[in-house]
Chain A
Amino acid sequence: MGGDELAHQSAKEVASRSMRQIPIKEGLWTVASSPEEKPRLIGSRCLRCGEVYFPSKAYGICVNCQSRDIENAALSRNGKIYSFTVVMQRPPEYYKGPVPYAEGIVELPEGVRLQTLFTDCNFDDLKVGMDVELVIEKLHEDEEGNEVIAYKFRPATRSKGGAD
């Protein structure tokens, strides 16, 4: 699936869903068209040097080789923890979710590292190299009572996860 098509599908699907769920930013992930289909993060791949990015490069420029030959790519839902931390103190601004919270860097098999929140886990169990999988879930509620949703990763569940 091409980049524009992916982004278009993403926007359309979000619009057709409940008005009360708002993504933290448009175009970060695909939205499933059926219950069996699972969302994927949307990245960019440079067709010249092969570097992969997340989020996708909004201006279509590869920041490694400056090529404009770059396309959107749906990324794997599973990856490994590259590094992580547990923030114990509420940030002074912006973040409105629970504290403490775990965030870190996940490496996906396409060869991209991305910053993410971790969920559905005991923070003490997080480890470098741990298998994790993508989920889209609530980040916080905004002032109008809408649920703002974001991508997060959680420890991979072999029983639920299935083939990817």
Chain B
Amino acid sequence: MAHLREVAIAGVGLTHFDVYDGDRGRLFKEGYELGMEAVLNALQDAGMEWGDIQAAFCGSVYQNTGSGHQALDQIGMTGIPIINVENACSSGASAFRLAYQSVATGLYDIALAFGYEKMPRGFIRSTAWPLWQRYMGFNVQPAAYAKESVRYAEETGATEEDFARVTVKNRKNGSLNPNARFQKEVTLEEVLSSRMIAKPMRLLHCCPLADGGAAAILCSKGKRKSKGKKVTVAASVLCSGVYGSLTGGSGTAISSVRIHNDLVELSAKEAWEKSGCGPEDMDVVEAYDTMAPGELWDLEKLGLCKKGEAPGLLKTGALNIDGRIPVNTDGGLMSRGHPLGATALAQIIEIYKQLRGEAGARQVPGGPKVGLAHSMGAGPNSAVTILKR
């Protein structure tokens, strides 16, 4: 394989994640405006001009043709390639990976990864299922996670309270994140008495919808202009499905009885190999909490603890901001909300801010040096990004 160059993050940008529908006093914004806003914020953070960007990769799911073009047309067309990436909930991480590889391989020195979404209301609509299965009622996203939760509880003894504690922790972290849609804490009782959606998943186990944008500018050595600590990409991995893996949120993923593979484990293994790091090196983690219990098995599959150990770590505070393995310090999907194209980039941006010491009230103490962001997507997809300073 070709020698890969060092890739640093030059700057990042986020919008406030919210509902921009213009109803009940809320602001109205078009989706592409959110993308544009995130890109402008990233340029400012990087201390760069738009003319510095040599290639752009945009993640989105519901934004029609040319989502990246729609957003960047408002900043200026400069003849650079704009590639639009749809990879379900891991679209943002997939755009990040493309920007990373284009700089790592030497094709460009400065590349932009961004993503945005203005979400349709209601259950996340997945058209990944064959039509007849949609008529059978098989395509309900919380139901896919509910079935994985039932298996997890069966195999580890985890309880509904364990699931609810994920929401409580993440909403507490989210209360310290000015970009999150929900900045209000919830109690265990509130989670456990919220409306049942797909047994045993209740409303407050589900991440909220949100509209928003996120952007990161990547560059080769010597091209960084911003002050502050340098953060480099130690690994950017995407695995899109493996036979024998049961993967929540995906229509066709029913695991084999005889053949056992796991997509998350596979992507984590590749990330450890590429980065030269191990799970024990992680100072801060963004796990995939689209549904609360997912965070628990995610940590286990990533190798941050053994199977069945995550609920205990959560209960004893080890996953808190000041704990041994701080997880979802920005409140995760549970507080940020879930604009599909932006979500995975927002996770990566949180790790970047934590490593730079720029996370404000939710800063992990002790100067974290290495962090990991993991996102899943229907298809299925599993993306692992490791950043280092």
Known: A50-B258, A51-B259. A93 touches B125 (CB 8 A): yes
Contacts of A128 in B (CB 8 A): 150-151, 154
Q: Is B146 an interface residue (CB 8 A)?
A: yes
List which A79-120 residues lie within 8 A (CB) of chain B: 82-89, 91-97, 101, 103-105, 107, 111-115, 117
Is B243's CB under 8 angstroms from A88's CB? no
Whether the pair A104, B147 counts as a contact (CB closer than 8 A) is yes
Residue among B131, B135, B151, B154 with the highest chain A CB neighbour number at 10 A: B135
A94 with B255, Cβ < 8 A, contacts A85-B150, A88-B198, A88-B199 known: no
For the complex, count residues of B whose C-beta is within 8 A of A. 35
Contacts of B139 in A (CB 8 A): 91, 94
Closest to B145 in A: A85
Check A158 for interface membership: any CB of B closer than 8 A: no
CB atoms of B137 and A117 under 8 A apart? yes
User: What's the least CB distance linking B39 to chain A, in Å?
Assistant: 32
**Interface residue ranges of B244-282 to A (CB < 8 Å):** 244, 254-259
Contacts known (A85-B147, A114-B254); A63 close to B243, Cβ less than 8 A? yes
Q: Which residues of chain B are near A88, meaning CB under 8 Å?
A: 195-199
Q: Are A150 and B136 in contact (CB under 8 A)?
A: yes
Cα separation A143 to B188 with both chains bound (whole Å): 45
CA distance A50 to B259 in the complex (A): 11
Asked if residues A86 and B199 are in contact (CB atoms below 8 Å), the reply is yes
CB within 8 Å for A105 and B254 given contacts A83-B147, A92-B125: yes
Chain A residues closer than 8 Å to B200, beta-carbon distance: 85
Q: Is the CB of A95 within 8 A of B137?
A: yes
Residue of A with least CB distance to B202: A88
State whether the Cβ of B138 lies closer than 8 Å to any Cβ in chain A: yes
B123 on interface, CB distance cutoff 8 Å:
yes
Contact among A51, A89, A140, A150 for B197, CB-based, below 8 A: A89
Q: Contact at B143–A103, with CB atoms within 8 Å?
A: yes
Q: Which of B149-172 contact A (CB under 8 A)?
A: 150-151, 154
Interchain CB contact under 8 A, B257 and A92: no
Q: How far is the CA of A115 from the CA of B122 in the complex (A)?
A: 23
Contacts of A85 in B (CB 8 A): 143, 146-147, 150, 198-201
A97–B137 Cα distance when bound, in Å, is 8
Inter-chain contacts of A160 with B (CB < 8 A):
none
- CB pair A96 B135 closer than 8 Å: yes
Q: How far is B136's CA from A91's CA once the two chains are assembled, in angstroms?
A: 11
> B182-207: which have CB < 8 Å to A?
195-201
- A94 close to B135 (CB less than 8 A): yes
Residue numbers in B under 8 Å from A63 (CB-CB): 243
A75 at the interface (CB under 8 A from B): no
Q: How far is the CB of B204 from chain A (nearest CB, A)?
A: 14
7 contacts between A and B (CB under 8 A): A83-B151, A84-B147, A85-B143, A85-B147, A87-B143, A103-B137, A150-B135
